Amino acid sequence: MNPGYARVLFVLGLIIVAAIIAVTRKAWAPGAFHALPSIWRIAKITVAEARRRRVLHAVVVLVVLILFSMTFFSYLSPQEQARMLISGGLAAITVFGILLAIFVGAFLIPQDVENRTVYAILAKPVRRFEYVLGKYVGALIILGAVVAVMTAVLVGVLAIQDRLVADLPESPFNPNLGGVIFAAVMSYCSLAVLTALIMLISTVASTTMTVVSAFIIWAVGSLQSQIYDLAESATGATKLVLLVIYHVMPKLENFDFRHQVSNFISYSVYSGWTAVLHGIGYTLVVLILASIFFNDRQV
Amino acid sequence: MQTRRSRKWLSVGLMVGVLMLIVPLQEAIHRTRPSLFDPDRRDRRVSAISVGPTPAVIAALGGFRTVAADLLWLKAENVWHGGSWWAMLPLLDAVTQLDPHFLLAWKVYGWHAAYNLNAESETLVDKRFWLRRGIENLERAVEANPDTWEMYFELGWTLFDRAHENWRAAHYFKLASELPDAPHYVSRMYYRSYEHVMDFENLFPAMEWALSRHKDVAMHQKLVRRDIEWWTNHWDDPQEHRRQIVLENTARKQRSVPYHMYPDDPYWDVCPVCGLPSPKGSEVCENPLCGHRLRAEAGGESLQPSAG
């Protein structure tokens, strides 16, 4: 995108958002504060429901086993072991995190509709956007807990391995714990954006459709550079469609620091935090859209 | 009803505004990220391998390229221990394509081609091919990792120790020693490259430059001062010249690399057949096992250097 256009777009966006907030603040501000307890209650119920699901526990146990089994490559040099543990561990966290995000995000609302639980909730003084936000916050807590457990195990395994090979002369084993934690946090942020998008789709589509779309969104979000390359070489409507996808879809690549961390190369923390800032804005838009669609849905 | 509709339009307006904020922001973040597919690097070698035979595989792997590289690396380890040296090449090629920042893989790839496969080859053409391939791999490694001293050093070392391209080696040793975290021995390798070919015009400034580096490392300072003192006293010593010629050309013979002829040496003529020195103006090579006639009957010029 031309930097001049980008700047104009940014300023215009800022003006529109500021104007709308200023004009409507009296209408929504008291309501928003009033909504917080309802959102929190729904989030707590969502977490309690998830805790009862055995699949969640199974995923955590599986990841822990995978992480511990990665210490079996003792024939490798300490330098190789560190790389394998970090890249493999972060990949396991990402893969299982994505799977959890897809299945948690895709089933939360449709399952409530199918079980008719949603009628009981919406019959109470709970507005629909509070319900959607509550579900989203619940999903974030579940994902956060799972990612935190997996990261803690990975950090523990790296620290133990570091102790085990510390006696080797000039051991180049570098556990890079700070980098691992940073990459895991960024991975969690990308899951948060992905979950919001999945919930948006789940408000309008069936569960199967949501799961399929979620995988496509994840793939497209992770391959933005390739999509840009394709758009560059395409013409006409194809180019337009690809450019729209490139600009509108979330760039999940921006949250991916696994490659830099496992290769022990420098990374920009600033780039990570700006990606988080962008993620928050993006998630906000997606959740507002989800609330609007869920508002119009006949439940 | 009216209120609900207007609220809906306000929400849509808000979203459009936020989207307009987001698009340039995510674009800006994305542009700052290092990419294998950076359009500005299309014509360069690393990009060439990225858009080579496996871009679809690389693309399909998305953010899991590092893990795929690790799995192939494990396979390469097994192949190495199984003794199938030639089978390692496609694996190492794939590993470095998938993860161009995997320094160990580049080091092993360059070393394997320039040392093992070069030594394993039976013909001179093959030996040169593998040596060239090893050096080219390390050049690609440098291009993919321009901020790490290790790859410059690895390339410099292979040029110095294996190809005996001392001037190019000196160039890369200097680049390596200027990068952050480069150990002190790298700056000493810079002048060692000139030392072996007795290029005194470059040797003394290189030693002074090395002395100006790592001022806080006593061992480095001691070693460089010792070398400066040695060469100040011996730069015109015929026996030291002879020693250097023998060392360098014996190593070149072992590596099947053309001898260095030391054309400006004031004391010695180098035999193009055995690479050993004979006193300036000798008719015949001093080496009793060689005995090559150094001066041709007509013209009186030395023959071109030959491979050992």
Residue A182 in any domain: the answer is yes
Q: Which residue has the higher pLDDT, B5 or A268?
A: A268
Residue A3 in any domain: the answer is no
Contacts of B18 in chain A (CB under 8 A): 13, 17, 281, 284-285
CA-nearest of A225, A200, A232 to A297 is: A200
Residue B103, min C-alpha distance to chain A (Å): 8
Residue A19 in any domain: the answer is no
Residue A61 in any domain: the answer is yes
| Per-residue confidence (pLDDT) for residue B217, from 0 to 100 | 94
Which residues of chain A register pLDDT less than 50? none
- Name the B residues in 60-79 with CB < 8 Å from any A CB: 62-67, 70, 73-74, 77
| Per-residue confidence (pLDDT) for residue B105, from 0 to 100 | 93
| Per-residue confidence (pLDDT) for residue B42, from 0 to 100 | 39
Residue A135 in any domain: the answer is yes
Handedness of CA A176, A178, A184, A189 (dihedral sign): negative
CB contact under 8 A, B14 and A288: yes
d(CA B253, CA B134): 19
What mean pLDDT value characterizes chain B? 83
Percent of chain B clearing pLDDT 70 (strictly above) = 82
Residue A282, min C-alpha distance to chain B (Å): 7
Residue A91 in any domain: the answer is yes
Q: Work out the number of other CB atoms within 10 angstroms of the CB of residue A198.
A: 30
CB contact under 8 A, A91 and B67: yes
Chain centroid to Cα B11, Å, comes to 59
| Per-residue confidence (pLDDT) for residue A264, from 0 to 100 | 85
Domain that holds residue A42: 35-296
pLDDT, tens digit, for every residue of B134-190?
999 999 999 999 989 999 999 999 999 999 999 999 999 999 999 998 999 999 999
| Per-residue confidence (pLDDT) for residue B13, from 0 to 100 | 76
| Per-residue confidence (pLDDT) for residue B45, from 0 to 100 | 41
| Per-residue confidence (pLDDT) for residue A36, from 0 to 100 | 83
Q: Is pLDDT at B46 greater than 70 in this prediction?
A: no
| Per-residue confidence (pLDDT) for residue B282, from 0 to 100 | 86
- Name the B residues in 221-280 with CB < 8 Å from any A CB: none
pLDDT, tens digit, for every residue of B233-271?
999 999 999 999 999 999 999 888 999 999 888 999 999
If you average pLDDT over residues B211-229, what whole number do you get?
Answer: 95
Interchain contact B167–A (C-beta under 8 A): no
Query: CB-based burial of residue A204 (10 Å sphere; 0-12 exposed, 13-18 middle, 19+ buried)?
Result: middle
Q: Which residue has the higher pLDDT, A244 or B40?
A: A244
Residue A200 in any domain: the answer is yes
Residue A184 in any domain: the answer is yes
Interchain contact B30–A (C-beta under 8 A): yes
Chains A, B: CB contacts within 8 A come to 149
- Name the B residues in 73-112 with CB < 8 Å from any A CB: 73-74, 77, 99, 101-104
Tally the domains of chain A.
Answer: 1
Contacts of A219 in chain B (CB under 8 A): 62
Q: Which domains does chain B have, with CATH numbers?
A: 44-146 (1.25.40)
DSSP code, position B293: B
Q: Which residues pair with B270 in a beta bridge?
A: B277
Confidence of residue B4 (pLDDT cuts 50, 70, 90): low
B146 to chain A: closest CA residue = A265
Q: What is the DSSP string of B51-109?
A: TSS-HHHHHHHGGGHHHHHHHHHHHHHHHHHTT-TTTHHHHHHHHHHH-TT-HHHHHHH
CB contact under 8 A, B29 and A278: yes
pLDDT, tens digit, for every residue of B50-86?
433 355 555 556 668 888 888 889 889 888 888 888 8
| Per-residue confidence (pLDDT) for residue B58, from 0 to 100 | 56
CB contact under 8 A, A251 and B30: yes
Contacts of A79 in chain B (CB under 8 A): 104
Contacts of A251 in chain B (CB under 8 A): 26, 29-30
